[in-house]
Amino acid sequence: MTTPALLPLSGRRIPPLNLGPPSFPHHRATLRLSEKFILLLILSAFITLCFGAFFFLPDSSKHKRFDLGLEDVLIPHVDAGKGAKNPGVFLIHGPDEHRHREEEERLRNKIRADHEKALEEAKEKLRKSREEIRAEIQTEKNKVAQAMKTKETRVLPPVPVPQRVGVSGGDPEDMEIKKKRDKIKEMMKHAWDNYRTYGWGHNELRPIARKGHSTNIFGSSQMGATIVDALDTLYIMGLHDEFMDGQRWIEENLDFSVNSEVSVFEVNIRFIGGLLAAYYLSGEEIFKTKAVQLAEKLLPAFNTPTGIPWAMVNLKSGVGRNWGWASAGSSILAEFGTLHMEFVHLSYLTGDLTYYNKVMHIRKLLQKMERPNGLYPNYLNPRTGRWGQYHTSVGGLGDSFYEYLLKAWLMSDKTDHEARRMYDDAVEAIEKHLIKKSRGGLVFIGEWKNGHLERKMGHLACFAGGMFALGADGSRKDKAGHYLELGAEIARTCHESYDRTALKLGPESFKFDGAVEAVAVRQAEKYYILRPEVIETYWYLWRFTHDPRYRQWGWEAALAIEKSCRVSGGFSGVKDVYAPTPVHDDVQQSFFLAETLKYLYLLFSGDDLLPLDHWVFNTEAHPLPVLRLANSTLSGNPAVR
């Protein structure tokens, strides 16, 4: 069957394209493609004409004058030489008039010539065979791909890379401790090897189904979240073959030009944080390059009326939006408030202040806002700049915002005083309104909701024990002892939440209500998904006190994970920590390798491994070096001080 011939503008008959029978859908698609292409050409010729007409035709008022031959009458007169009362409008007569006519004629000729050239080009294209057209399209595509590549592999400006202090070692002298550390390393191998076998390239692993797993925070693409998240843990454990394997995958496969809507916060803390840490530990440029490529893709999320970023962004289109469940279209404090560390490092490494300015803008905006009781609500509307629901928590939705205030100060070599002030103010308000002691003497952090205190603490809030200890040094009125003590109290409470379960693993959330203390009440709050926060707090407390109880508690947790979460295909979360036998959720979270196992390993290592005066851990446990900018500045911008 033949297809209708296409008549070009010149009337020359184009031989029908041999497109095959229309009953084959892919042939029909080809026909549509060719037709589209030709229509596109005609359209582009037309647009060229319009473009020419728009820019080169004299304005309509002049036309009128010429057409009517009334230029001397219609053109307002100004006395030449006396200054123009109406500048830009001149009387045209004599030699000027002649020059003007010539100019008009020249423009007309140019438009005519452009018009003809565009038509010729369109005809020329139509004369070409399908193969030639395809080849041209391919050449154009190659050019674009090459341009993208050049952009992607562009060399970043050299900056002094902070010394790689304590990136390996930490071997404990005590053989008992060493054995424990080796056990944690073996757990990491088990988690990694199974992911390598059954989930490679997927975001996470289903250790029982033995296949890949993902959630909406990573979008619809396989971005190898576990690989990126695990790299630095592999590195410090000396698992170099595994590290190299991960590096190769990143070099060859990690691509951010995907039509996928991701969580800005999660991608920042896991991917950008993970890549930056891998770069600082190993010195391999590829990690820096990938981190910067990804960061560029996140930037459109900041295109909101206030500059408070959307929670999610499509990596390809740059379109952002917020979670449907977040109070009246709000962005979330712990999400937009947990970008600072990574973004400052991005500016440091690239010399591009865009990243730094974005996060400083958020900080400035927050500083100006009224805070009920001095507390930061968890929801902020990025369109109006107003708080959403008045809900404050140091657990989910709020947590890492406070953490990043403290860590911004530490990461700046304790020179970012503004961040420290904001942290101190926030902690004072939290202590005053949210921290309480239960009847049984357990100190807990409640949540402020709709004007009253909920006596409930989330597993996520348990990280705050470590945060209080980390922030003790440098606190106001020399309250270091007080904050270290507060950190220890939180650690004790969170340990109780583990100890009061059948599996010796902590529930997602626990209550302090009458006789109920540190125990989950609702079924939906009884799960444990391999979270790190309690072990994180044990590790910080261990570093600051060397009290052996923290190693003991950490070991209890490691054994409980080994007993109830280990399966032959990796590690899985459990659905009910109060049930005598574990029911698995069949997910090996990427943060289990990034955080839980890393903090356990550090707990049984010497303090010379990743010393805290050189490294600051992002909220996903990715270590970033302290930026000592005393003698230099962030790309010449003293504002970073």
CB nearer to ligand DMJ: pick between 65 and 345: 345
509 is a site residue for ligand DMJ (CB under 6 A) = no
Q: Are 9 and 119 in contact (CB under 8 A)?
A: yes
Distance separating alpha carbons of residues 457 and 395, to the nearest angstrom: 7
Q: Which residues are catalytic?
A: 508
Q: Per-residue x/- marks for ligand DMJ, 593-612, CB under 6 A?
A: --x-----------------
Residue 591 found at the interface with ligand DMJ (CB under 6 A):
yes
CB of 457 to ligand DMJ, least distance (A): 14
Task: Find all residues with CB under 8 Å of 613, minimum gap 6, and list them.
Answer: 626
Which residues are registered as beta bridge partners of 570? 567
Cβ-based nearer residue to ligand DMJ, 447 or 595: 595
Any contact of residue 400 with ligand DMJ (CB under 6 A)? Answer: yes
Which of residues 122 and 460 has its CB atom nearest to ligand DMJ in the complex? 460
Q: Can you tell me the distance from the alpha carbon of 481 to that of 456, in angstroms, rounded to the nearest whole number? A: 26
Residues that constitute the known binding site: 619
Q: Is 407 in the site for ligand DMJ (CB under 6 A)?
A: no
Please answer whether residues 517 and 567 qualify as being in contact, where contact means their C-beta atoms are separated by less than 8 angstroms. no
Cα atoms in the 13 Å half-sphere on the side-chain side of 177: 17
Q: Report yes or no: 256 and 315 within 8 Å, Cβ to Cβ.
A: yes
CA neighbor of 271 nearest in space, from 260, 263, 281: 263
Q: Smallest distance, Å, CB 401 to ligand DMJ?
A: 10
For ligand DMJ, the binding residue among 228, 460, 520, 602 (CB under 6 A) is 460
Candidate residues 620, 624, 625, 634; the one interacting with ligand DMJ per rule CB under 6 A: 620
Least distance between ligand DMJ and beta carbon 188 (Å): 17
Is the CB of 247 or the CB of 589 nearer to ligand DMJ?
Answer: 589
Residue ranges for the known binding site for Ca(2+) are 619
State which of residues 619, 624, 625, 634 lies at the interface with ligand DMJ (CB under 6 A).
619
Say how far apart CA 488 and CA 497 lie, in whole Å.
14
> Does residue 531 belong to the site contacting ligand DMJ (CB under 6 A)?
yes
Q: Give 467-471's long-range contacts (Cβ < 8 A, gap of 24+).
A: 467/402, 467/403, 467/406, 467/540, 468/427, 469/537, 469/540, 469/541, 469/544, 469/545, 470/406, 470/410, 470/540, 470/544, 470/612, 471/406, 471/423, 471/427
Nearer to ligand DMJ, 381 or 619 (CB): 619
Nearest distance from residue 137's CB to ligand DMJ, in Å?
43
* 118 vs 617 by CB, closer to ligand DMJ: 617
Q: How many residues bind ligand DMJ (CB under 6 A)?
A: 8
Which residue reads 């996140």 in tokens?
298
CB of 226 to ligand DMJ, least distance (A): 12
Query: In this structure, how many other beta carbons lie within 10 angstroms of the beta carbon of residue 439?
Result: 11
Residue of minimal Cβ distance to ligand DMJ: 619
What are the residues binding ligand DMJ (CB under 6 A)?
A: 400, 460, 531-532, 591, 595, 619-620
